[in-house]
Amino acid sequence: ALRALLNQYSDAAANAPSSNGKAQEVSEAQLKEALAEHRLVAYLQPQISCQDRSVKGFEALVRWHDKDGSIITPDRFVGVAERSGLIAELTQQVFASAIRWFADHLGNTDYTLSLNTSASSFADTTFPSELTTLCIKHRLAPHRVKLEITETSTAENPSGALELLTQLRVKGFALAIDDFGVGYSSLEQLVRQPFSELKIDKNFIIPLAKSEEAAKIVDALIALAQALKLTITAEGVEDERSLEILAKAGCDYAQGFYIGRPMAPEKLLDWLKEYRQSQPM
Ligand code: C2E
Ligand code: MG
Ligand code: MG
Ligand code: MG
């Protein structure tokens, strides 16, 4: 029955109009130009503890600041980058800018920084050492950096991924399986790869407050993560009620528009100050 529910949700997720229907992708040439002009910026979205609501860390989410002042979201260019081979350059720029800003401004806290990876990073055997070099350069301890990996990227080449992920774990990085529940071989990748954390996909979290079915799935996913001794983050928390349900269900961390939207780094310190002031001591 759970499998049927999960399938139903997977289909819904695949077909959901993510924001306003199918995104209009940019051209490869446009992306090349944006990379050359360093127009891609790592925005940061807060993650809090469900239990005491203290800030836990931030996820870096890439945004493109276009020449006309508009902001282009990743659904319009991450796929293009992956298919055109520009993804390595994109990853390099996003990781470097996120790590630099984070180390400079929040280096002396114990917040974590989550970074999204692509399948291609797992074909690149220099990835673990390059990431380590970047962290050393900016004096950021690897245990404060979490790599978010989708199950599809490990499913493509499971043995290669296993070797690379093991190296990353040995170097001290945390590894989160992203968008858990919407791929196909979730459970297999989950037990096979050395993940330390599971992120429940937002398609299960957004309807949480209104759907008993979603609540049951979330309970089951939390039980699964606990059985496997994985930390759990819920993405897509859009209301107070969902945060309460997650806390009660034993979820560790939460992320979503209700808590904070992805924001430009220069806005983050003000957000932090305000958030801390709004919390009961
Ligand atoms: P993701 O890693 O699963 O990131 C979570 C997405 O959910 C983000 O979309 C975030 O803005 C959105 N989100 C967070 N809270 C809520 C909420 O309460 N409600 C709703 N409706 N949405 C919420 P975004 O920033 O558009 O990113 C989309 C995807 O693009 C990411 O999904 C990730 O797979 C990819 N991506 C983003 N940045 C990077 C990057 O630097 N590198 C790579 N390779 N992929 C990236
Ligand atoms: Mg992510
Ligand atoms: Mg996700
Ligand atoms: Mg996602």
Tens digits of residue pLDDT in 137-157 = 999 999 999 999 988 888 888
Q: Contact, 121 vs 81, CB < 8 A?
A: no
Residue 199 CA: nearest ligand 1 atom is 3
At 185 the pLDDT is 65
User: Across the chain, what does the average pLDDT equal?
Assistant: 91
147 C-beta closer than 6 A to ligand 1: no
Whole-prediction pTM value? 0.93
Instruction: Give me the residues paired with residue 70 across strands.
Output: none
Whether 7 has a pLDDT exceeding 70, the answer reads no
**269 or 123, which is more confident:** 269
Residues 6+ apart with CB under 8 A from 122: 149, 153, 154, 156, 157, 160, 161, 164, 165
Is 116 a pocket residue for ligand 1 (Cβ < 6 Å)?
yes
Higher pLDDT, 48 or 1: 48
Closest atom, ligand 1, to C-alpha of 19: 21
Q: For 72, list phi and psi in degrees, rounded to 5.
A: -105, 130
Which one of the ligands is nearest to 207 CA? 1
pLDDT given at position 65: 97
Give the closest residue to 107 by CA, choosing from 133, 130, 139.
139
Between 147 and 192, residue with greater pLDDT: 147
248 pLDDT more than 70: yes
User: 21-31: per-residue pLDDT in tens?
Assistant: 578 999 999 99
- Is 148 a pocket residue for ligand 1 (Cβ < 6 Å)? yes
DSSP letter string over 35-52?
Answer: HHTT-EEEEEEEEEETTT
Quick one: which ligand is closest to 45's CA?
1
CA of 19 to the centre of ligand 4 (A): 12
The percentage of residues in the chain with a pLDDT greater than 70, rounded to a whole number, is 91
Residue nearest to atom 30 of ligand 1 (CA): 74
Q: What is the mean pLDDT of residues 67-79?
A: 96
Ligand 3 center–CA 147 separation, angstroms: 11
Pairwise pLDDT comparison (207 vs 5), residue with the higher score: 207
Q: Is residue 45 a contact partner of residue 263, using CB atoms and an 8 Å limit?
A: yes
The pLDDT, as a whole number, for residue 281 is 65
- For residues 160-189, give the mean pLDDT: 90
Ligand 1 near 62 CB (within 6 A): yes
Confidence of residue 12 (pLDDT cuts 50, 70, 90): very low
255: nearest Cα among 196, 186, 197, 202: 202
pLDDT > 80? residue 97:
yes
pLDDT interval class at 101 (50, 70, 90): very high
Taking phi over 0 as left and psi of -120 to 50 as alpha, with beta for the rest, 209 belongs to alpha
pLDDT surpassing 70 at residue 8: no
